[in-house]
Structure 1
Amino acid sequence: MPLPTDQKLIALSEDLLKQIDAMQGLHHGFRPFHARGIMLSGSFTPSPDAVSMTRAPHISRASTPVTVRFSSSTGHPLIPDNDPSANPRALAIRFHLAERVHTDIISHSTDGFPTRTGQEFLEFLRAAASSDSSKPSPLDKFFSSHPRALAFVQTPKPAPSSFARETYFGVTAMRFVNRDGVGRYGRYRITPDAGTEHLDADTARSKGANFLYDELTARIAKGPIGFQILVQVANPGDITDDATVHWPEDRPLINLGKLSLTNAVPDNAHEQKNIIFDPIPRVDGIEPSGDPLLEVRAAVYLLSGRRRRQAPEQ
């Protein structure tokens, strides 16, 4: 995963990291967002329908080993599971294609993103950090010119009863190309075999500070955890380069295959520190869309990942 050469992109990524650190504190060895997490391993088995969508290598094989990371929001590595700020949750998936060859999916439990570009996201964070009781506050002013950011913030983000009972959404669209060279845009949607289940606010507050991580550890000890990896396919004319735009629910869903998680990753804390997930697929058959968030997210992930690896072990 190379560092981009665009100096403006690097500067923006560094500014984003500095702003996040200023708001949440710098926690050495942890991610600036989604600091608290847990990693599992397993396999991906493609569905028969997947070849109509993409010629990616993990679609043409009988199965592919995977490593996944479930996580909670914020940069606080000890955030309690019953803290509303720990939502939305996230799921990152790495498909191991060969030694040092992989492709990733990064998804969140809230569909979409508050801003279209990295620069707008920086402005959003700065407005949030500088807001006080004054009216209109800097954040009020930002929302007045960015109504989709307000809509994202106001979208309910309930806690799941389990990481294994949450639906996760790819933030940005990708272009999927099949063996005939036919390309279609789509967004990932990852659905739990156990069914989606959320807790109301009072029930979530009554839970313990580690209830999600404890539940997942107990669940994986009893047997495999299953998810279906779907792609919501855009219609011609749908906007594919703006993560703040939702497509109608009548857009078709193509099943790429089944994710089966079977084990906790040994030396979990060390492995979480070292793995750097990549929002850009970098694999034949799945291409990045023109969404401007992709490059800046990849740069932030890489810069923060390198910083994380340099931190001493806790």
Structure 2
Amino acid sequence: MFKKRLYQSISPLLQASIYVSLALLPTSIFAAEKSISELVDAVNGTPDAASREAGKKIKLRNHAKGFCTSGTFTPAANIENQFNIPFFEQQEISVTARFSLGGTNPHASDKGAGRFMSLKIDGDKESLNFVTTNAQLFFASNLEDFFTFQTKVKQGAEGKQWLIDNKPDAKAFFEYVSQMPKSSSFANSRYFGVNSFLFDKPDNSQIAGRWIFEPAAGQTALTQAELATRSDDFLQQELLNRIETAPAVWNLYVKLADSDDVVVDPTILWPESRQRILVGQIIIDGKRDNESNVQQCDKSIFNPVLLPEGIEPSADPILNARTPAYIKSFIRRL
């Protein structure tokens, strides 16, 4: 907790220096199964020195196709009755958002099902970051399986079939994704934090939960006929045009774990019957899009374990590898 508060109190320049220092620490601190460099290479498809060097030259990254915009976060009334998180006592907090597709191809088609939303909510003294996807289910429960999945999918149909035949979690993920609707907008997609966090309650106990963003306007899927009329690049302009008229709004919930729910495995879905607590609203309106931190958000890291007092990461190995992996990828793009 002390280190987190120290980090949040220093300048952006010193923060960048800490990022570099963290990236130089022994990777075994962060990942016992696979090194952070190996994980980044698997995601980027850079398994050797030559491909790694080529990737650096073009600033290779995951979620390469994306854009930044802005808005606000308004905490729910009386949220202090549910959680002991002082961050939520603020009235309105600035948000920087990045909407994206998965993968390293900056020219990927928008006609797939995948949608991603990353957020920085920067309060007076603390920040809360999110890295979310419209797939509620993850494809790996540990770093070895994560590495294997990322390596095999780069091999195309043969690699995917190997995963289906040999990795039950990957098979379940592919089946889940095949049933996902293709939304007509980033604005009418649900988004999920697949990893779990620990939330302080007013009695100073903790409870595990997962983030869920529900679009206030509801979900809207495209039919195949409608999809055929869209370009491969329709999502960005659709959202930017939309928020010129009315903001895109999501209700943010924490879905609470029951006593028998597995907290550290993102491949296991919790039942829909679990209690959900409304935390607040995300309102994306683009009103701060001319600010430099929004315009340059592509050059920053959305750190899902940069958390305010009262929220802590669970022991999920996928979650705890994210930050050092993002840092490693960021350093390679400098």
TM-score with structure 2 setting the length: 0.82
Deviations 1:9-49 (A, max 9, x none): 47622112222333798375656221111212111111125
1:58, 1:64 within 8 Å by CA — same for their partners in 2? no
- The answer as to 2:238 corresponding to 1:215 is yes
- The answer as to 2:89 corresponding to 1:89 is no
1:95 CA drift (Å):
1.1
Deviations 1:66-103 (A, max 9, x none): 11111112111122212x2xx3111111110237x422
AA in 1 matched with 2:317: P
Q: Give 1:158-307 correspondences, 5 Å limit.
A: 158-263=181-286, 265-266=289-290, 271-307=296-332
Match of 2:154, SS state, is helix
1:49, 1:256 within 8 Å by CA — same for their partners in 2? no
AA in 2 matched with 1:47: A
Q: CA 1:28–1:59 in 2, change beyond 3 Å: closer, same or farther?
A: farther
> Distance between the aligned counterparts of 1:77 and 1:114, measured in 2?
23
> Distance between the aligned counterparts of 2:306 and 2:145, measured in 1?
24
Structure 2: stretches of 5+ with no match in the other structure: 1-17
1:39, 1:268 within 8 Å by CA — same for their partners in 2? no
- The answer as to 2:32 corresponding to 1:7 is no
| Number of the residue aligned with 2:164 | 143
1:179 CA drift (Å):
3.6
1:31, 1:305 within 8 Å by CA — same for their partners in 2? no
> Distance between the aligned counterparts of 2:212 and 2:76, measured in 1?
15
RMSD: 2.5
> Distance between the aligned counterparts of 1:214 and 1:138, measured in 2?
34
1:17 to 40, 43, 50: 40
Deviations 1:244-266 (A, max 9, x none): 00000000111000111221623
1:160, 1:198 within 8 Å by CA — same for their partners in 2? yes
TM-score with structure 1 setting the length: 0.87
AA in 2 matched with 1:121: F
Higher helix proportion (structure 1 or 2): 2
> In the comparison of the two structures, how many residue pairs are matched?
301
> Distance between the aligned counterparts of 1:141 and 1:192, measured in 2?
36
AA in 2 matched with 1:287: E
> Distance between the aligned counterparts of 1:59 and 1:268, measured in 2?
22
Match of 2:182, SS state, is coil
1:273 CA drift (Å):
2.7
Match of 1:40, SS state, is strand
> Distance between the aligned counterparts of 1:55 and 1:69, measured in 2?
28
- The answer as to 2:182 corresponding to 1:153 is no
> Distance between the aligned counterparts of 1:152 and 1:159, measured in 2?
16
Q: CA 1:129–1:274 in 2, change beyond 3 Å: closer, same or farther?
A: closer
Structure 1: stretches of 5+ with no match in the other structure: none
2:132 to 101, 107, 110: 107
> Distance between the aligned counterparts of 1:127 and 1:112, measured in 2?
19
Aligned-pair identity in percent equals 26
> Distance between the aligned counterparts of 2:75 and 2:307, measured in 1?
19
